[in-house]
Structure 1
Amino acid sequence: MSSQNELSERLETLETRIAFQDQTIEELNSTITAQWRQIDLLTRKLELLEEQVRSGSYIADPSTEAPPPHY
């Protein structure tokens, strides 16, 4: 009977470990998914900024700028 109790305890220990591993995997998956969403968002923003810089929309018109403070 002792052998059967040991096997039962080992099985319970393994089931507990698997449950914790499954939970950890789910948490890691959620984290990775959130990171990929953030990376995609940042990539789109970077592409938009690059397009705006290439189009010259960030080039200031000197006639509309105030003179520097030392004048």
Structure 2
Amino acid sequence: MTEIEKLQAQIDELEMKQAFQEQTIDDLNQALTAQQFLIEKMQVQLKFMVGKVKGMQTSNLADESEETPPPHY
């Protein structure tokens, strides 16, 4: 193998690695975008749930002041 052939083989290998890196970066970018969308959606849902919980009526249990004392008193 001549020196030029060796250099060409190295260049070809570097070009192939660079192409794979570009594809990997694109894949990671798409995954990150999807995750960001999901996080934003979950934040909206969480805010909705917090609002629902804050707006809920108190439970059917009476307040401690309204409770009759236990029988052993």
Q: TM-score range by the shorter chain?
A: 0.7 to 0.9
- Show structure 2 runs of 5+ residues with no match: 61-73
User: Hey, which bits of structure 1, 4+ residues long, moved more than 3 A?
Assistant: 59-62
How far off its partner does 1:60 sit?
Answer: 7.4
Q: In the alignment, what sits opposite 2:23?
A: 23
**Counterparts of 1:14-53 in structure 2 under 5 Å?**
14-53=14-53
If each structure's helix is expressed as a fraction of its own residues, which one has the higher value? 1
What is the alpha-carbon distance in structure 1 between the residues aligned to residue 42 and residue 15 of structure 2? Answer: 41
- How many corresponding residue pairs? 60
User: CA-atom RMSD, angstroms?
Assistant: 1.7
User: For the pair shown, which has the larger CA radius of gyration, 1 or 2?
Assistant: 2
- For normalisation by structure 2, the TM-score amounts to 0.75
| Residue identity matched to 1:52 | K
Q: What CA distance in whole angstroms lies between the structure 2 residues aligned with 1:51 and 1:33?
A: 27
Q: TM-score scaled to structure 1, two decimals?
A: 0.77
> Identity over aligned residues, as a percent?
30
